[in-house]
Chains A and B, each alone.
Chain A
Amino acid sequence: KQEVTQIPAALSVPEGENLVLNCSFTDSAIYNLQWFRQDPGKGLTSLLLIQSSQREQTSGRLNASLDKSSGRSTLYIAASQPGDSATYLCAVRVWGKEYALNFGKGTSLLVTP
């Protein structure tokens, strides 16, 4: 069974800092990996999707990397802003069960002014 772990569980940083969120998964036979953002009590917004054949994806101040062999992904947020405060979730799709996203518990990020 695919297990997805996110570290740290919570993070508080001052505005302007660069930060890294970590995601690890136990089964390297993944189809793709996706990072989502969730605001309190709300649905999920997709941030970045990395196919298993890719090493990284970038969107604005966000950069996600994937190391499938070691079962790790990182989400890098540059020049953090208070509006980045949210929970960030990592999810993987496994070969053979590609319709399902397997999520970690998320990292709760607070960016203080």
Chain B
Amino acid sequence: DAGVTQSPTHLIKTRGQQVTLRCSPKSGHDTVSWYQQALGQGPQFIFQYYEEEERQRGNFPDRFSGHQFPNYSSELNVNALLLGDSALYLCASSLVQLSYNEQFFGPGTRLTVL
């Protein structure tokens, strides 16, 4: 049973560019959350998707947007990249009825903005 998978593993972009990160939830899960973890910091909640809708959002600008597909996989899009967007981006999945409790995290995508 595959856990949460994320692609790509690493990514290098330049300021002003746009980036798309991808996440496939654990088998059977229907809810996906995204977190940003800067070096030496704890993860910060970006948003959560369920039934292809964003149902809660953290304190992130509109440059951060997402999408959830009918197969429950998800994308995180970041526009107009800034140096400060360099971080490890983590995806977590859960079952909607357990989303207040169990969340399984993927290995993350390391984004470097030059």
Contact = CB atoms under 8 A, between A and B. Distances in A.
Interface of A: 4, 31-32, 36, 41-46, 49, 89, 91, 93, 97-106
B102 to A, nearest CB: 7
A93 to B, nearest CB: 6
A93 B100 contact: yes
Contacts, number: 58
Interface residues of B, number: 27
A55 B5 CA distance: 34
Given A97-B56, A99-B100, 9 more contacts: A31-B100, A41-B110, A46-B104, A99-B45, A99-B48, A102-B45, A103-B42, A105-B42, A106-B42
A43 B42 contact: no
Contacts of A42: 107-108
A109 to B, nearest CB: 15
5 contacts: A42-B107, A45-B105, A105-B40, A105-B42, A106-B42
Interface in B65-96: 88, 90, 92
Nearest to B41: A105
B6 to A, nearest CB: 8
> Quick one: which of A46, A99, A106 has the most chain B CB within 10 A?
A99
Contacts of A36: 105
A102 B35 CA distance: 10
Nearest to B46: A100
Nearest to A43: B105
A98 B100 contact: yes
Given A42-B108, A97-B56, A91 B42 contact: yes
